Chain A
C-alpha cells in the first residue's frame, strides 16, 4: 500500500476523469501466476466497476473525496475575479488535461473557471465545451459527495459563486487577457515556441550579421524601386507612414522574422539572370535531315478506298 492513501472497504474515493467511487472490496487475485492485491471500486453514478492493482492506485491518481474545508476553498477560488485565460489553445488543452487528471478538486475548479472566463470572450469550441461539461460534472459530483447534498444543490452552490444572482456575466475583450509588458509580437498570435525560434538559433558571428545587412539593403532597394515606378503612390504611402515613423523614433529597427534569405552567389553566374525553367516534359529532338521540310499533317480517320481502275476508264 503506498504511503498517504490507506484505502478500506466503504471508503469514498475519486477516480480521475471518472468521478466518485466507492471501494467495495480489497482482495488478492492470481493473475498470470502472480498474486496481486486488487482494489475494487464501484462508480456511484452508474455502478460501473473497476479493479485497480493496489500498487498502482497512487500512480493512477486515485484520491479521497475532498473535505468540506477544501470545498469552501474552492468556493473562494471560484468567487475571485480572475482575468487569467490562456489564449494559446494548445497550451490550454495541455494544461487542462493535466488539471483534470492530477489537479484534484482544485484542478477541476480551475478548468471550469478558466473555460468560463474564456467563454466571456468568445463561444467555446465543441471540444472545450465538452471538456467544460465533463469538468463541471466531476466538480459537482465531488462537491455533492463532500458536503452530502443533492447534486442539483451542489451545482447551484457552485453557480451561485460563478454567476452571482442579479448580475449578468461581463463581456470581455482579448486585450484584457493580454499579459502586461509584451510588445506587438503578441498581435500576430504566434506561438511562444515560434517566437523563441530566433533566439534559439546559434549561428556563427560572421553569419549572424550578414543577413541583417542584406535585409536592410533589400529593403532600401525595394523602397527605391517603388519610388521610381509609383511616385504618386509612394508619396501617399510616405505621407501615411510619417506619423508611425515619428512615433518609432529612437526604437531599435525591427528584425524580420523567418529564415534569412540565401546569400547570392558571386561571379558570372550571379550577374547573368537565370533562365526560367519550363515545366513539363522536354520537347523531342527533331531529326536533322527531314526537319527542314514540314511534315504533311496527318489526316484522321479511315484512309479513303482506292477506286477500281475499270470504272475510272
Chain B
C-alpha cells in the first residue's frame, strides 16, 4: 500500500488522480492518508533527510510505503562527487520518501513531472536503481529530459518492482 501524506494543502481531486497514477504504475493500492504539519524550526529549503525523520505519527503497516508531498523547496544535497539537484529523496529499500512540487503553481500544472518524481522515489523504496532508459521514471532525475517524460517504467524496472512487491511479507 502506498500512503500519500501531504505536508501542505492540495486539491483533493488532484490527489485522487495522483493516487490513481501510482496505483497504475505499481499495481498496489494507493491513498491519500491525510495532511500533516511539519514540526516548527525546520529551516527552508528543507533538508529532505531531516524531514523524513521529523514527521511522525503516521499509521502504516510494515510493507506500506509512505510518500510525503510538499510544495516547499528541498535543499540540494552535497555529495562526494558534486551537488545533486533534489526534487525528492528516498531511503533505499526502506519505507519513507519525500517529493516536492516546488516550482509549479499547483499539482495540476506540474502533474507529469511530479508524478514522475513520485514514481522515481517510490522505485527506490522498492530497491530499484537508476535506469539507462530515458523514458523510464528511474532515469536520473536531474537530466533535462526527465520532466518531459511520462510517469511509467521501462519493462525491466516494472518487472523488478513487481517482483519486489510480490515478495513483500504482507
Contacts and interface: CB of A to CB of B under 8 A. Distances in A.
Interface residues of A, number: 35
Interface in B86-137: 89-93, 124, 129-130, 132-134
Given A116-B132, A124-B132, A159-B130, A72 B80 contact: yes
Nearest to B139: A163
A160 B93 CA distance: 21
Contact of B129 (A75, A126, A140, A150): A140
Interface in A51-107: 71-72, 75
A4 interface: no
B27 interface: no
Contacts of B132: 116, 119, 123-124, 129, 132
Nearest to A163: B140
Contacts of A72: 80
Interface in B18-70: 49
Interface residues of B, number: 26
A116 B129 CA distance: 14
Contacts of B129: 133, 136-137, 140, 155
Q: Is the interface of A mostly helix, strand, loop or mixed?
A: helix
B143 A163 contact: yes
Contacts of B92: 150-152, 155
A130 B140 CA distance: 18
Interface in A126-161: 126, 129-130, 132-133, 136-137, 140, 147, 149-153, 155-161
A153 B140 contact: no
Contacts of B145: 168
B85 interface: yes
A33 to B, nearest CB: 41
B79 A150 contact: no
A165 B147 CA distance: 13
Nearest to B97: A152
Contacts of A166: 142, 144
A160 B143 contact: no
A152 B143 contact: no
Contacts of B142: 160, 163, 165-166
A130 B159 CA distance: 12
B17 interface: no
11 contacts: A119-B132, A132-B132, A133-B129, A137-B129, A150-B91, A152-B89, A152-B90, A155-B129, A159-B140, A165-B82, A167-B144
Interface of B: 49, 77, 79-82, 84-85, 89-93, 124, 129-130, 132-134, 140, 142-145, 156, 160
Interface of A: 71-72, 75, 116, 119, 123-124, 126, 129-130, 132-133, 136-137, 140, 147, 149-153, 155-163, 165-169
Given A71-B80, A166-B142, 18 more contacts: A75-B80, A132-B132, A133-B160, A149-B79, A150-B92, A151-B92, A152-B89, A153-B77, A155-B130, A156-B140, A157-B80, A161-B81, A163-B142, A163-B143, A165-B85, A165-B142, A165-B143, A169-B143
